[in-house]
Amino acid sequence: MAAAAALALTCLIVGPASAADTPLNLDCQAKPPIGSAQTLTLAAGVDGTAPDTVTAGSSFTATLATQPMTVPGSVSGYTIKSIKNITLRAPVPANATLTGTSLSGGSGTGSGTPTVTVSGGEIVMTVPGPINGGQSFTLPTLTLNLTAAASGGVIETRLSGTSYSSPGLTFTASVPILFTTVSVPTSCFPSPNPVLTSTTIS
């Protein structure tokens, strides 16, 4: 079971960040049904776009796009069957009113339909999957429709997450072990948590 947890942590293999991407270090913990939890740091990247400045009370959009990722077919001789229930969270930005959200693009994310909701001050993207081992995929681009506050300030976007119990990214890996398939839930948070876009209200 400990081996299954370690395998779960290697399920999201990310290519090197391009110059436009903000690199992310994700501190992750996988919890197998039996045995001790395993921890690992994963490298990822997000390409965020938003205007540098906007006038008070004006409307604008910010977009967050993750890099392409690959689920390995096997690690150290163990098969990765699939991953599912990928959830990515971002806080609703301060100094702005969120008027709408949408998803666009994305590929290879399985038969489930990705969705985005707003709950408890967070924007939540959910990708049901499943995404098979050995398959490359790209999460949908998240677009935020925002209205700048009249009081001024700076509007920043970033990912949620401060601990394993309050994560910004979660997913479940399916790993065949002997004569059964083990589901290993994994929780990650960005450490440190960089600003993805920054817009100053003029």
C-beta of residue 56 within 8 angstroms of C-beta of residue 154: no
pLDDT computed for residue 165 by the predictor? 94
User: CA 72, CA 7: separation in Å to the nearest integer?
Assistant: 10
138 CB burial (10 A radius; 0-12, 13-18, 19+): middle
User: CA 87, CA 76: separation in Å to the nearest integer?
Assistant: 26
Tell me whether strands 180-190 and 96-104 are parallel, antiparallel or unpaired.
unpaired
Tens digits of pLDDT across the chain (202 residues): 444 455 555 555 554 443 347 888 889 888 877 777 778 777 788 899 999 999 999 999 999 998 888 876 766 566 778 889 999 999 999 999 999 999 999 999 999 999 999 999 999 999 999 998 888 888 999 999 999 999 889 999 999 999 999 999 999 888 777 778 888 888 999 999 999 999 999 9
